[in-house]
Amino acid sequence: MIVMLGQPALEALKEIEPHSLVLNKNVAIFSKWNGQFVYPLYYPSPQAIKTGIRPFEQQRTDFKQ
């Protein structure tokens, strides 16, 4: 399993094998990519929490999963 923290990490996977994953649509959802399971997450930053992109409690749930 590969866990990507943030959009830059998700985009970097495209250098290995193309994919159609988008962080805001595929966050905290297991997907198959290049024979592996991937699990994109928002980087746990204060900015994501303060702007409401992904509230702290939701990020905590994502990480526990």
* Contacts of residue 4, Cβ cutoff 8 Å, sequence gap at least 6: 10, 12, 13, 38, 39, 40, 41
- Share in percent of the chain as helix, strand, coil (round to 5): 40, 20, 40
Report the predicted TM-score, pTM, of the whole model to 2 decimal places.
0.84
Please give the average per-residue pLDDT across 4-21, as a whole number: 95
| Distance from C-alpha of 17 to C-alpha of 10, rounded to nearest angstrom | 11
The pLDDT tens digits for 13-33 are 999 999 999 999 999 999 999
| Distance from C-alpha of 40 to C-alpha of 22, rounded to nearest angstrom | 9
The count of structural domains within the chain is 1
End-to-end CA distance of the chain: 13
Q: Which domain holds residue 40?
A: 2-64
